[in-house]
Amino acid sequence: MAKQKQDDGQAPKLTINDIARMAGVSKKTVSRVINRSPLLNRETRDKVEAIIQETGYVPNPQARALALGRNFLIGLIYDNPNVQMILSMQKGILEALHGTEFELVIRPVDRGSNLVMDDIRGFVTRQRLFGVVILPPMSENDALARMLDEEGCRYVRMGSAVLDDAEHMVASNDREAVADAVRHLIAQGHRRIGLIAGPHGFRSAQERREGFELALTEAGISLPRSLIADGQYTFESGISASESLLDLSPRPTAIFASNDEMAAGVLYAARLRGIAVPEELSIIGFDDTPVTTRVWPPLTTVRWPIVAMGRAAALKLIGTAIGEGAEVNEPSMFSSTLIRRASVAPPPAS
Amino acid sequence: MAKQKQDDGQAPKLTINDIARMAGVSKKTVSRVINRSPLLNRETRDKVEAIIQETGYVPNPQARALALGRNFLIGLIYDNPNVQMILSMQKGILEALHGTEFELVIRPVDRGSNLVMDDIRGFVTRQRLFGVVILPPMSENDALARMLDEEGCRYVRMGSAVLDDAEHMVASNDREAVADAVRHLIAQGHRRIGLIAGPHGFRSAQERREGFELALTEAGISLPRSLIADGQYTFESGISASESLLDLSPRPTAIFASNDEMAAGVLYAARLRGIAVPEELSIIGFDDTPVTTRVWPPLTTVRWPIVAMGRAAALKLIGTAIGEGAEVNEPSMFSSTLIRRASVAPPPAS
DNA sequence: TTATTTCATGACACCGGTGTCCAAAATGGA
DNA sequence: TCCATTTTGGACACCGGTGTCATGAAATAA
């Protein structure tokens, strides 16, 4: 029955009882101090807080989790292949969580598997997660949102447009961003502009396509079906999709690819055919990933504030928990910027 | 005092007591079944296990964490700027953790801050982590390893070479891998080969440099100091470091860059000067990141099995916990492969 | 001054598991 | 048949917090 004091570590592991004893109050009173209960005498609070400061006591998260029936863990759920995006999101979320008691737990899921729902349900209920951030395209799954509602798990959905569930969304305005990019091409004099679309079923792909069509319609430019090619958001699909466009006669003088990977694929395909970029072909991508500056010429692209959005999502989740008076009111709609590099030029004189 | 049955979710949340009642045994007996205690009657075990199967009962991790004083969380600690590596490691670890009761918690730390140690200590002790995986260069910090030992926290260090602490290492053999790459250049006829080294203080940088020098020494090629330039593992540093090499006369006919980002920088700098790759200059990088195939020409590089190493690290950590008889014996040293692409050719006839 | 209300605090049970220790049952030897 | 020894299972305390309710003190009203 000897207290295990120096058994392995030298950290004596203070508990709430130790603090209570030192302060000469009950453990419940210490608990009140920790949880900022309003019905506390000022003196008592100060005394206990001083001791907590002094000793560096930190409540045991496991015990809290058990008593509260809720953990201080935020889950990050994704089924997305885009590593850059995942890591930037992760970065933003972690920035917001830094200094709080929250930790980030990663959960990649297997899109397509029909066990996904049960998998996620088990994840959030077993771990009693405080909340989750869902990355696209999984975030577009309304059934998932309903399930989380049922389970009483908070969530924020990242997206390329505000869906019905606006309350839980942090979104970028992809449509308008793409329209701006295409307007830029039109302003340079381009009229035959090709589109490499993203995969069917991705909301972002749809939004970007709509933005593309919007800009052309505004300018009164017709869009033959042949100028649209389907891609899968991968480099390889960018190469193969652009081949059908580059074989056209007359060839498009510019191509908007729905993400940077595919834009890099266009550049690659153009080089294989000896087509000069940007002299004979202008290219614009989307995401502003590092690859845009590694290739030659550096690619004009659209930058969306992923890190800031990740931060906003996390704050939105934990805001109610740490909101000390000021209601955390993060913007839910973020806008993107056209980054002009060297892959756009006026079309060649025909 | 009414049981909250259908208050928010429809999950009745089975507890060990429910199972015990249903099986007609005490909760402790159920606990024994869960923990595979050997001193149990076969019939009792089967009966309880059947009920667990039937009801889908899963023990509450928070309660277990509290009672055991240890969580089923694995921490991933990194201070590394290389997003590709972080994500690949994460992927490997998650693969190994999939289907187990373990979850992955992410912890980026701020290298250079002198609070790092306390930060990590707080992280592992508060959360009572089962163990952590440490990515380079943080993994080279011996003081950190000692601290984790003190705190009784398991750990695995990822590295580019086996350090003193071999028991806790999962490593790749960078030195030999680089030597192979440089031997390849020599075999093609190169004699004036430049090196862009990684940052001082990174073990990987040192190992790669040693591999470079090893191959030259073997071939009896002398290495003037002017053929070595310092980089920071970034694209930009690759550009500036290569400038000093490309200004030399005679110019090196090949450059080994200590990672792909810097190799991409060399390519960029070469293009700015109108130097043809690979005709006038061969380039080899290290890491086999996606950028190597996005640029033109695709870069020859060294691939190290990051995902497999992450998997091995995780298995090494949890192996003792899930080891059912068979002692998990993952290899601790991984070897790399030279990936030949189009950035290497024989040197120009001088 | 006394009755009533408000406020601050504490005692105690509880969250859902696990460790310790002891009792009952089963087994074996004399 | 009885006692000693080994299994097998349960009662109970405990991990470190939080919720509920009771209690005593102080403040207000009568």
Q: What is the DSSP string of A117-138?
A: HHHHHHHHHHTT-SEEEE-TTG
Instruction: Please tell me whether residues B144 and B193 are part of one structural domain.
Output: no
Q: Helix, strand or coil for residue A256?
A: strand
Mean pLDDT of A278-290: 97
pLDDT computed for residue A2 by the predictor? 34
Running DSSP on this structure, what letter comes out for residue A172?
Answer: E
CB A100 within 8 A of CB A322: yes
**Residue A294 CB lies within 7 Å of the nucleic strand D:** no
pLDDT at A164 exceeding the cut of 90? no
B234–A contact, CB cutoff 8 A = no
Find the mean pLDDT for residues B253-281. Answer: 98
Confidence (pLDDT) at B82: 86
Chain C footprint bases within 7 A of protein beta carbons: 7-12, 14-20
A140 is written with which tokens?
């577009």
User: pLDDT value at position B97?
Assistant: 95
* pLDDT at A169 exceeding the cut of 70: yes
pLDDT score for B321: 60
Average pLDDT over residues B44-63: 91
**Per residue, what are the HEC states of chain B?**
CCCCCCCCCCCCCCCHHHHHHHHCCCHHHHHHHHCCCCCCCHHHHHHHHHHHHHHCCCCCHHHHHHHHCCCCEEEEEECCCCHHHHHHHHHHHHHHHCCCCCEEEEEECCCCCCCHHHHHHHHHHHCCCCEEEECCCHHHCHHHHHHHHHHCCEEEEEECCCCCCHHHEEEECHHHHHHHHHHHHHHCCCCCEEEEECCCCCHHHHHHHHHHHHHHHHCCCCCCHHHEEECCCCHHHHHHHHHHHHCCCCCCCEEEECCHHHHHHHHHHHHHCCCCCCCCCEEECCCCCCHHHHCCCCCEEEECCHHHHHHHHHHHHHHHHHCCCCCCCCCCEECCEEECCCCCCCCCCC
* Same domain for B190 and B103: no
Confidence of residue B9 (pLDDT cuts 50, 70, 90): very low
**Inter-chain CB proximity A84 and B86 less than 8 Å:** no
Q: Are A9 and B86 inside 8 Å of each other by CB?
A: no
> What CA–CA distance (Å, rounded) separates A116 from A143?
11
pLDDT at A3 over 50: no
- The answer on A326 and A288 residing in a single domain is no
Does residue A58 fall inside a structural domain?
no
Query: Between chains, do A66 and B66 touch, taking CB under 8 Å as contact?
Result: yes
Distance D14 C1' – B324 CA (angstroms) = 29
Determine the pLDDT at residue B44.
Answer: 86
Q: Would the pLDDT of A117 be above 60?
A: yes
| B232 in the same domain as B123 | no
A6 contacts chain B (CB < 8 A):
no
Q: Does the residue A83 lie in any domain?
A: yes
Is A350 within 8 Å of chain B by CB? no
Same structural domain for residues A193 and A179?
A: yes
User: What angle in degrees, to the nearest 10, is found between the helix axes of B16-23 and B42-55?
Assistant: 120
Which of these ranges, B54-58, B254-258, B296-300, has the smallest mean pLDDT?
B54-58
Instruction: Indicate if B242 and B180 belong to the same structural domain.
Output: yes
- The domain containing residue B32 runs over which residues? 16-57
Whole-number mean pLDDT of chain B?
91
CATH number reported for the structural domain that contains residue A40 in this entry:
1.10.260.40
Kindly state the tokens that stand for A96. 């917001």
The HSE-up count of residue A148 (CA atoms within 13 Å, CB side) is: 25
> How far does A218 lie from chain B, in Å, by closest CA?
34
Q: Decide if pLDDT at B10 tops 80.
A: no
The pLDDT of residue A38 is 81
CB contact (8 A) between residue A235 and residue B293: yes
Measure the CA–CA gap between B262 and B287, rounded to whole angstroms. Answer: 11
Give residue A114's pLDDT.
Answer: 86
Task: Please give the C-alpha separations between residue B345 and each of A196, A272, B139, B182, in angstroms, as whole numbers.
Answer: 34, 19, 37, 13
Instruction: Tell which of A294, A296, A341 to mutate to test the B interface (max B CBs under 10 Å).
Output: A294
Q: Which of A6-10, A104-108, B70-74 has the lowest mean pLDDT?
A: A6-10
Residue B342 lies in a domain: no
In a domain, A329, yes or no: yes
pLDDT value at position B329?
60
Tokens (6 digits) for B122: 């707080």
Round the average pLDDT of chain A to a whole number and report it.
Answer: 91
How many angstroms separate the CA atoms of B242 and B229, rounded? Answer: 7
How much is the average pLDDT of B46-65?
91
Q: What percent of chain B has pLDDT over 70?
A: 93
User: Which CATH number belongs to the domain containing residue B120 in this structure?
Assistant: 3.40.50.2300
Q: Are B196 and B258 in contact (CB under 8 A)?
A: yes
pLDDT over 60 (residue B21): yes
d(CA B16, C1' C18) / Å: 12
Q: Which token pair is B230?
A: 């310092």
Count of domains for chain A: 3
Specify if B99 maps to a domain. Answer: yes
Are B297 and B188 within one domain?
A: yes
pLDDT tens, position by position, A5-49: 333 444 568 899 999 999 999 999 999 999 888 878 888 899 999
Mutate to test the interface with A, among B4, B94, B106 (most CBs of A within 10 A): B106
Write the pLDDT tens digit of every residue in B325-339.
444 565 689 999 999
Q: Torsions phi, psi of B78, nearest 5?
A: -150, 150
Query: Residue B30: pLDDT above 80?
Result: yes
Asked whether residue A209 is assigned to any structural domain, the reply reads: yes
Lowest mean pLDDT among A130-139, A147-156, A319-328, B36-45: A319-328
Mean pLDDT of B194-217: 97
Give the model's pLDDT for residue A322: 56
The stretch A119-146 carries a mean pLDDT of 93
Strand-pairing partners, residue B337, are B303
Whether residue B217 lies within 8 A of chain A, CB to CB, comes out as: no
Interface test with A, best of B60, B62, B149, B306 (most A CBs within 10 A): B62
Our CA-based measurement puts residue A299 at a distance from the nearest CA of chain B, in whole angstroms, of 12
**Residue B2, pLDDT score:** 34
Residue B171 CB neighbour total at 10 angstroms: 23
All residues of chain B having their beta carbon less than 8 Å from the beta carbon of residue A63 are 66
Instruction: Please tell me whether the peptide bond between A347 and the residue prior to it is cis, using omega within 30 degrees of 0.
Output: no
Query: Could you tell me which of B172, B203, B181 has the C-alpha nearest to residue B335?
Result: B172
**How many CB pairs (< 8 A) connect A and B?**
105
Q: Taking 90 as the threshold, does the pLDDT of residue B165 lie above it?
A: no
Reply yes or no on whether the pLDDT at B11 is more than 60. Answer: no
d(CA A114, CA B173): 41
Q: What is the mean pLDDT of residues B72-83?
A: 91
Shared-domain flag, residues B72 and B119? yes
- Contact B275/A at CB under 8 A: no
Q: Tokens representing A218?
A: 């505004």
What is the CB neighbour count within 10 angstroms for residue A98? 12
Q: What is the DSSP letter of A280?
A: T
Residues B168 and B178 in one domain: no
B44 touches strand D (CB under 7 A): yes
Least confident span in A100-114, A240-254, B239-253 = A100-114
Residues B313, B287 within the same domain: no
pLDDT > 90? residue A120: yes
Q: What's the pLDDT score for residue B326?
A: 41
Within a domain: B9:
no
Across the interface, of A58, A83, A106, the residue whose CB is closest to B106 is A106
Does the beta-carbon distance from B235 to A125 stay under 8 Å? no
pLDDT of A303 strictly over 90:
yes
pLDDT of residue A94: 96
pLDDT greater at residue B344 or residue A35: B344
Question: What integer is the mean pLDDT of B235-260?
Answer: 97
Token digits for A181? 């990019």
Whether residue B6 is contained in a domain is answered as no
Question: Does the predicted model carry a pTM greater than 0.85?
Answer: yes
Mean pLDDT of A44-64: 92
Tell whether A117 and A193 lie within a shared domain.
no
Task: Quote the distance between the C-alpha of residue B239 and its chain's center.
Answer: 26
What's the pLDDT score for residue B8? 42
Q: Tell me how far apart the alpha carbons of residues A264 and A269 are, in angstroms, rounded to a whole number.
A: 9
- How far is it, in rounded angstroms, from Cα B245 to Cα B3? 76
A296 or B163, which is more confident: A296
Instruction: Give first-to-last CA distance, chain B, whole Å.
Output: 92
CB A260 within 8 A of CB A299: yes
Q: Both B74 and B104 in a single domain?
A: yes
Interatomic CA distance for residues B197 and A93, integer angstroms? 33
Give the integer Cα–Cα distance in Å for A238 and A15: 58
